[in-house]
């Protein structure tokens, strides 16, 4: 049944693509802007003005893939990429060494700045499509955190019908990754449309979703001196990254979530304020935070999710201050421990070995090894897999 539906979607997508040999608007392109645009073969064309520039480049995926742009007779610089993977891509335009945004595209907060985004349509994106179903709301709220002394901004998704109902709801606390902020899950990942569609299809129970800023008090710096023989600006060693984030105590984030945010949410929203109706999940650094904070507060959370987490579990008797040392106990306490990683993710090795360490210790968990890299395209799929498993 499901295979048939996927096959049908693929066929419809191909028919639509063939019928559509003209360039198309992208959802991330500014209304009325002509570029960037999508070509029939899945490539994209970019075009910018830079009259006196010597060298203009398109930097895809935060610089992992680079295209030289060429200056046309009309003075505009242009390039067409090879066909791109469906999903969400970051990119920048570099002009004579200045890397910044494409004025034709919307921006998203990533890598500690505002970055141009590109949504390439594809056959498996129906789960976050904007449909004519009842829609929930993403609320921007401000509350006082005693931990930091700040009025902090949070995002709170309330499901369709929340306002009209008197029911109480479970809550998923959902955290972004390093260098991003509390807007990531709604802006890049459609955290609202995913549960809207799941709820409309009766595949998940309505719940509240809360996003806080996980960068609070986190000051990770890549190792300052490159390893001998490493290329300049090479990424830091994967193990060092995974171990840094896994072993960080996140005391400021823990304080904000445990002492300030959860009481605020339980006071201001119609929640079911107990551990059986509370989940904590996150991606990358946020996945490390979900495990660190969640395993410390098992009285608060019964469901934990780690999406492409920066973790490197090697010794379940000692990691996390021994929180995993009694498998029978942790299996009893946690209703769900969900861990996923893409095979092209730079964290694939430490995460899959963490999974093996949990397996070996007999600690029950859902293990998802998907295709894909360390990107939002993967994380929104993970949310669609994770969300229906909560709050049964």
Chain residues in the site for a second copy (CB under 8 A): 30-33, 48-56, 93, 95-104, 106-107, 112-114, 130-132, 135, 137-144, 151, 163-164, 186, 192, 215, 268-269
Nearer to a second copy, 179 or 340 (CB): 179
Contact 70/77 with Cβ under 8 angstroms? Answer: yes
What single string gives the DSSP state of each residue in 90-149?
EEEEEETTEEE--TTB-EEEETTEEEEEEEE--TT-GGG---SS---EEEEEEEEETTTT
Q: Which two tokens stand for residue 150?
A: 């700040």
Nearer to a second copy, 207 or 355 (CB): 207
Nearer to a second copy, 228 or 232 (CB): 232
Closest distance between a second copy and the C-beta of residue 163, in Å? 7
Closest distance between a second copy and the C-beta of residue 81, in Å? 19
Closest distance between a second copy and the C-beta of residue 313, in Å? 29
Closest distance between a second copy and the C-beta of residue 12, in Å? 20
Nearer to a second copy, 65 or 101 (CB): 101
Instruction: Output the CA angle 124-198-277, nearest 5 degrees.
Output: 130
Nearer to a second copy, 69 or 311 (CB): 69
Backbone angles phi, psi at 261, to 5 degrees: -70, -50
Beta-carbon contacts of 132 under 8 Å, excluding residues fewer than 6 positions away, are none
Closest distance between a second copy and the C-beta of residue 56, in Å? 7
Closest distance between a second copy and the C-beta of residue 70, in Å? 15
Contact 219/249 with Cβ under 8 angstroms? Answer: no
What's the CA dihedral at 55, 59, 63, 65 to 10 degrees? Answer: -100
Nearer to a second copy, 13 or 76 (CB): 76
């Amino acid at each position: 049944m499901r295979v048939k539906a996927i096959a049908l979607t693929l066929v419809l997508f191909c028919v639509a693509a063939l019928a559509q040999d003209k360039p198309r608007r992208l959802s991330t392109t500014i209304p009325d802007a002509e570029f960037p645009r999508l070509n029939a073969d899945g490539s994209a064309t970019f075009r910018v003005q830079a009259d006196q520039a010597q060298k203009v480049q398109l930097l895809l995926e935060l610089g992992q893939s680079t295209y030289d742009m060429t200056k046309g007779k009309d003075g505009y610089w242009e390039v067409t990429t090879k066909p791109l993977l469906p999903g969400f891509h970051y990119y920048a335009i570099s002009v004579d060494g200045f890397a910044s945004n494409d004025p034709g595209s919307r921006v998203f907060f990533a890598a500690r700045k505002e970055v141009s985004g590109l949504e390439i349509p594809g056959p498996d994106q129906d789960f976050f499509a904007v449909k004519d179903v009842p829609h929930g709301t993403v609320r921007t709220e401000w509350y006082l955190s005693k931990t930091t002394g700040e009025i902090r901004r949070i995002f709170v998704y309330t499901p369709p019908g929340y306002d009209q109902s008197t029911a109480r709801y479970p809550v998923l606390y959902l955290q972004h990754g390093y260098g991003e902020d509390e807007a990531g899950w709604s802006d890049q990942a459609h955290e609202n449309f995913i549960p809207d569609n799941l709820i409309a299809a009766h595949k998940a129970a309505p719940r509240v979703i809360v996003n806080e800023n996980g960068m609070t008090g986190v000051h990770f710096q890549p190792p300052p001196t490159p390893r001998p023989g490493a290329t300049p600006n090479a990424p830091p060693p994967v193990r060092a990254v995974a171990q840094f984030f896994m072993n960080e105590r996140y005391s400021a984030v823990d304080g904000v979530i445990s002492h300030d945010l959860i009481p605020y949410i339980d006071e201001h929203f119609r929640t079911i304020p107990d551990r059986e109706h509370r989940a904590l999940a996150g991606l990358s650094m946020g996945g490390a935070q979900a495990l660190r904070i969640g395993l410390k507060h098992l009285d608060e959370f019964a469901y934990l999710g780690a999406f492409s987490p920066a973790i490197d579990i090697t010794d379940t008797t000692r990691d996390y201050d021994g929180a995993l040392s009694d498998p029978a106990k942790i299996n009893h306490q946690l209703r769900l421990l969900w861990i996923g990683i893409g095979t092209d993710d730079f964290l694939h090795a430490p995460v899959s070995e963490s999974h093996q360490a949990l397996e070996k210790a007999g600690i029950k968990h859902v293990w998802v090894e998907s295709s894909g890299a360390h990107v939002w395209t993967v994380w929104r799929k993970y949310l669609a897999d994770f969300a229906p498993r909560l709050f049964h």
